[in-house]
Structure 1
Amino acid sequence: MGIAGIPSMMTAAQVVQLNKPHELNQVETFHELRSHDLLIKTVAASLCHTDLMIIDGTLPASLPMTASHEGAGIVIATGDAVNNIKVGERVMSGLPLNLCGQCEDCLGPEDRVQYCKHTEGSIGLGMDGAFADYHVADSRTTSLIPDTVNFAEAAALACAGRTVYRAIKICGLGVGDYLAIIGAGGGLGHLGVQFAQAKGFKVIAIDARDASLELCKEIGADHVLDARDGQHRIIVEVQKITGTSGANATLNLSAHPTATQMACAVTKDHGTMIQVAGPEKTTISIFDLVFRDINIKGTMLAGSKCSAEMLEEYAKHGLKVQMETFHGLRQVPEMVLALHSGALKGKAVCVVDADRYAEDIAQ
């Protein structure tokens, strides 16, 4: 059963085989919408490091699967229970699909619904995603885009922005406190630097790539340190900057095996280390954990309310997501190569609907 005016078939960039480039295929546009579903005309969709984990099989997925969990577009149709978003509105797509609505996360504080373990899955991460002419998202995890934020920016923020913003919110800092960020020049990190500074934190940006360190300087991080100098030197530098035993809190956005240990080591005694990246294995020094009383928290996506706050903060403070724009789904394999190369500054974003995007940025 289709929706009037919507073609029955569409183009999608799909992961068909592990460790192979995405393929462009003609697929069915959608299935019948469930109660909380949104059918979205994709205008832009972004690429994330997590997408590489789908390609190499680290994250299991049933193939073929339409890629990208970072989508933005215009709502074309809604399920019968949707009451917070209307047809024609501009949205940044949520990731989890078909929340159960009954578990302790769904019924608990708003910013825990994304932890629901009884979802159908997440778009682009097991379920078909946004590298397509149309995609489906759950209205309960989807956010309206402010007028001053364009579709490409919203797509780039759909995972990176909402993830790092929640990490900053739960770190418990106040104006003038020091926040160290490991991996500060990456897709999440460069946004984290800006969001943290907008809240009045002093940011110590730490990275290990030339392009990333240069980006940290370009966006005005208060202090920029090269992790390749070694952990001991970084600890000394952070203590010199703060005048104490370390930063009040640290975000670890790097999946490097030693990054978690460094993140704890540069954190002030009794401070908090927020783990965002997900390496296969990591090591934490018992000295930091026990004898320095470093508190460790994990976090992932923000819920819809926190995501909406993130978008408003981004618009209010005139922040800038660093991105390289690619035009058309045929360029998705090039986006993957750019991400693999390590030379990409910020996010790789695909403009899926060139006409709608041109209208958007012209306004």
Structure 2
Amino acid sequence: MSLSYQHHEKSDNPRFEIQNVPLPDLGPNDVLVQLAVTGICGTDFALATGKLGPTRRILGHEGIGRVVALGSSLNKDDIPIGQRVGIAWIRDVCGRCQICLHANGSENPRCLRQLHSGRKFDGTFAQYTIAPARYLMPVPEGLPDEVLAPILCGGITSYKALKNTGATPGAFIAISGAGGGVGALSIQYAKAMGYRVIAVDAGEPKRQFCLDLGAEAYVNVASERDAAGAVKAATQGKGAAAVLVTAGSGAAYNASLNMLAPFGTLVCIGIPPPDQLMSFHPLQFIDFGYRIIGSCTGTQTDLLEAIEFVERGLVKPKTLLAKLDDLNRICRETAQGKVTGKYVIKL
């Protein structure tokens, strides 16, 4: 039997419950992974509301564990028992859809079949899970499980988004939602990659947290009447070369465009509810040359690059350890904006 935390009901206040379930059945090309830890991502709670479409009952997508069994078609010489692996958002790619074919055989995390943890595969809020061997993600030894887990989603998403900005090292990067789990990692990656960081979030308790991570300035949107003006003041009137929106809020997106310098890039990471939309006038793009791009997690190569920053001590995830039965409390705290850093569940 496997202990798992299953999504119980869909609502604005989702609820989870612990259940004992049978070990998942292995297909011939699957591996069974015993998980040691799993990180918690805001996307898990968004999925649990039901507003992002159908889900599996077991969510979670930041798992670290070890291979304990192989499907009948697999060879122990190719995949050793005990191999340390990461179970992330992308569990597989089809290789056949329009996006996969466009990649010419290269890995593309935007596969249209969306073979994601918690969507098409049971997630990592469980002691055991299965993974397709062809997309197995070995991770290096050395780093503690609870340090490595947040890199599987929050870390790689932050790192890939910064790569996608096209900004020159030394430029200002504004991070909206900087005090959250992804935002905190974005500050550290941006600093390590040579950018100057302006942290943007709501509430004074997050100010020192963001400054301690390496931000040069903090803009409190809860008390600042002109957040865009405050960002421009912090950048000596230039504006930011790029704004990363990690906050899941349409209002955050609408406020962020005016923080940009001419020819700046707005990078979309946070996922607002479906009814919260961006509203921009085309003249803003015509006059100032702004770009808007969406950044979607990253490839396995991106992940290994993101892990290297942690191995070198340049990025240090701020983790809070928890147990499976803490998940409902963490869900409430996340919805209230009370969480700074990343929760990691010991399994």
Query: Normalization by structure 2: what TM-score?
Result: 0.89
Alignment of structure 1 residues 1-363 onto 2, 5 Å: 9-19=1-11, 20-35=14-29, 37-62=30-55, 65-79=57-71, 80=73, 86-107=80-101, 108=103, 113-119=108-114, 121-139=115-133, 141-230=135-224, 232=226, 234-279=227-272, 280=274, 281-286=276-281, 287-327=283-323, 329-352=324-347
The unaligned stretches of length 5 or more in structure 2 are none
Give the residue type in structure 2 aligned to 1:289: F
Give the residue type in structure 1 aligned to 2:334: L
Query: Percent identity at matched positions?
Result: 26
How many aligned positions are there? 339
RMSD over aligned Cα, in angstroms? Answer: 2.4
- SS for the counterpart of 1:122 is coil
Q: What is the deviation of 1:312?
A: 1.2
Change (3 A) 1:131 1:295: same
Q: What is the deviation of 1:140?
A: 5.0
CA distance in 2, matches of 1:62, 1:186: 24
Partner of 1:4: none
Give the residue type in structure 1 aligned to 2:236: G
The answer to whether the 8 A contact 1:44-1:350 is kept is yes
Q: What is the deviation of 1:100?
A: 1.4
CA distance in 2, matches of 1:34, 1:166: 33
**Offset from partner CA, 1:18-42 (integer Å, 9 cap, x none):** 245211112121112352x332111
Give the residue type in structure 2 aligned to 1:180: A
Q: What is the deviation of 1:125?
A: 3.2
Give the residue type in structure 2 aligned to 1:326: A
CA distance in 2, matches of 1:239, 1:62: 41
The answer to whether the 8 A contact 2:198-2:215 is kept is yes
CA distance in 2, matches of 1:208, 1:318: 26
CA distance in 2, matches of 1:45, 1:310: 18
- SS for the counterpart of 2:250 is coil
CA distance in 1, matches of 2:277, 2:104: 30
Change (3 A) 1:78 1:95: farther
Change (3 A) 1:118 1:340: closer
Partner of 1:5: none
The answer to whether the 8 A contact 2:63-2:124 is kept is yes
**Offset from partner CA, 1:214-258 (integer Å, 9 cap, x none):** 3202212112111224463x3333323333531111111112222
Out of 164-173 and 140-149, give the one that drifted further: 140-149
Q: What is the deviation of 1:109?
A: 6.4
CA distance in 1, matches of 2:28, 2:145: 25
Give the residue type in structure 2 aligned to 1:332: L
